[in-house]
Amino acid sequence: MKQVSYEGLTFEPYITRDTIDARIKELGKDITRDCAGKTPLFVCVLNGAFPFASDLFRACENLPAEIAFIRLKSYEGTGSTGVVKEMLGLTEDIEGRTVIVVEDIVDTGHTIARLIENLKEKNPAEIKVATLLFKPEALEEKDVHPDYVGFSIPKKFIIGFGLDLNGMARNLNDIYILKED
Ligand code: IMP
Ligand code: MG
């Protein structure tokens, strides 16, 4: 693996695809165990979570489960805008169901907090959060506690495996971190 560049910024290898794959399989086992007897609805938060959701959903193949998609946006460039816009709503009836929100990353936690608020109005039985990445030091929403975390990472900007810089780099198979010099 080598360094990659986007918009004049250099990123270095951080988490390999193999490591990501192995971790997602573990999360799949945890969710399958915890959801025994339930039929959860996975809610993939587009755009960033789609590679993670695709792998995580299939890592739960022994669970009767459904998947739906929602689109939100809260980021521009490498810093949070602090504004969360819902782009595309959920059409599924989630009343009385176990919902597993699948996110690419929880940074300040504003996006997930806002989404959980919206979902609660639809009276699900419970809402769980699965996130591939979590930046505990960046968390501003004290009520946000992701239930399933792939990797806890420092407060640095990363790309790849769904995570973007202004829409680019989502198709990188590995995760890269912004190089500081
Ligand atoms: P939050 O609302 O601050 O938790 O931000 C959540 C959203 O910001 C994520 O779903 C990502 O789209 C984006 N984001 C946060 N940190 C990063 C990063 O390091 N790289 C790329 N996108 C990020
Ligand atoms: Mg996102």
> Residue 73 C-alpha to ligand 2 middle, in angstroms?
7
Decide which of 69 and 84 is more confident: 69
Report helix, strand or coil for 19: helix
For 13, 17, 88, 139, the CA distances from 159, given in Å and listed in that order, are: 10, 13, 23, 19
Beta strand segments in 16-147, E: 41-46, 66-76, 79-88, 98-106, 126-134
Is 107 part of the annotated catalytic residue set?
Answer: yes
- Residue 175 amino acid letter: I
Q: Which helix (H) or strand (E) holds 59?
A: none
Tell me what percent of the residues of the chain surpass a pLDDT of 70: 91
Instruction: Give the pLDDT confidence score for residue 83 in this predicted structure.
Output: 56
Average pLDDT over residues 172-179: 98
> Residue 46 C-alpha to ligand 2 middle, in angstroms?
6
| Dist CA 138 CA 156 (whole Å) | 9
Q: CB of 131 closer than 6 A to ligand 1? A: no
CB neighbours (10 Å) of residue 151? Answer: 17
Q: Determine contact, residues 174/15, Cβ cutoff 8 Å.
A: yes
Residues with CB under 5 A from ligand 2 (ion): 48, 104
Confidence of residue 82 (pLDDT cuts 50, 70, 90): low
Tens digit of pLDDT for each residue in 25-80? 999 999 999 999 999 999 999 999 999 999 999 999 999 999 999 987 555 555 55
Tens digit of pLDDT for each residue in 116-154? 988 998 999 999 999 999 999 999 998 999 999 999 999
Confidence of residue 81 (pLDDT cuts 50, 70, 90): low
Ligand 1 atom 10 nearest Cα: 105
